[in-house]
């Protein structure tokens, strides 16, 4: 990194701190030749994630699209928009850390479900009903039973709320 004033390549770091909510490192530097002080930012190189859709079409990962699907499933469940944003953040970070740059849309759906499952059962069932393209009440009941079994295994909370309504019957 050359000094912007004298072009000298040698400098020392005076201070390093996390910036842009942890997405970059800001460094305050001093030129060893002219003592001019300047700032540099170090960022993780962003590599786009490609989503392979059911149809086989490819498109770049769109966080607002994932968020929209979740917002619909989470209406009137008490889940805040911030919580949903955080889930999308976590999913995006997880995808960014993978060696493979391609992910199927169904994998993204599963990732969303794994987060919603911890957060809210109603939202989980609603999202599953859209994402798994439920064809009838049988698909719905199967998913519900599956959730019920795994929830009972995970924690035996006595007041587990199972009074859920599938998407489409809400309004």
Contacts to Zn ion by CB under 5 A: 3, 5-6, 8, 31, 33-34, 36
- Least spacing, CB of residue 41 vs Zn ion, in Å: 19
- Of 28 and 36, which CB lies nearer to Zn ion in the complex structure? 36
Name the residue among 62, 38, 40, 37 with its Cα closest to residue 51. Answer: 62
Q: Which residues, 6+ apart, have CB-to-CB distance to 67 below 8 Å?
A: 84, 85, 88
* Identity of the residue, 2 or 58, whose beta carbon is nearer to Zn ion in the bound complex: 2
Smaller CB distance to Zn ion: residue 32 or 169?
32
| Nearer to Zn ion (CB atom), residue 5 or residue 118 | 5
Question: Rounded CA gap, 13 and 29, in Å?
Answer: 4
| Least distance to Zn ion, CB of residue 19, Å | 23
b/e 64-85 (16+ beta carbons within 10 angstroms → b): eebbebbeebbeebebeeeebe
Q: 105: closest CA among 72, 139, 146, 133?
A: 133
Minimal distance, residue 12 CB to Zn ion, in Å? 12
| Nearest-approach distance from CB 1 to Zn ion, in angstroms | 11
């Amino acid at each position: 990194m050359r000094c912007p004033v004298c072009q000298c390549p040698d400098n020392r770091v005076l201070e390093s701190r996390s910036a842009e909510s942890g997405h970059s490192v800001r460094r305050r530097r001093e030129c060893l030749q002219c003592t001019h002080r300047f700032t540099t930012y170090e960022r993780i190189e962003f590599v786009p994630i490609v989503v392979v859709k059911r149809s086989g079409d490819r498109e770049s990962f769109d966080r607002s699209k994932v968020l929209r699907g979740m917002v619909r499933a989470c209406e009137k469940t008490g889940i805040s928009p911030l919580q949903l944003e955080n889930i999308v953040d976590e999913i995006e970070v997880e995808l960014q850390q993978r060696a493979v740059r391609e992910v199927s849309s169904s994998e993204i759906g599963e990732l969303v479900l794994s987060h919603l499952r911890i957060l809210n059962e109603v939202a989980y069932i609603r999202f599953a009903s859209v994402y798994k393209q439920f064809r009838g009440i049988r698909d719905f009941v199967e998913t519900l039973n599956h959730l019920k079994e795994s929830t009972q295994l995970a924690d035996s909370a006595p007041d587990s709320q199972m009074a859920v309504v599938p998407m489409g019957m809400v309004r």
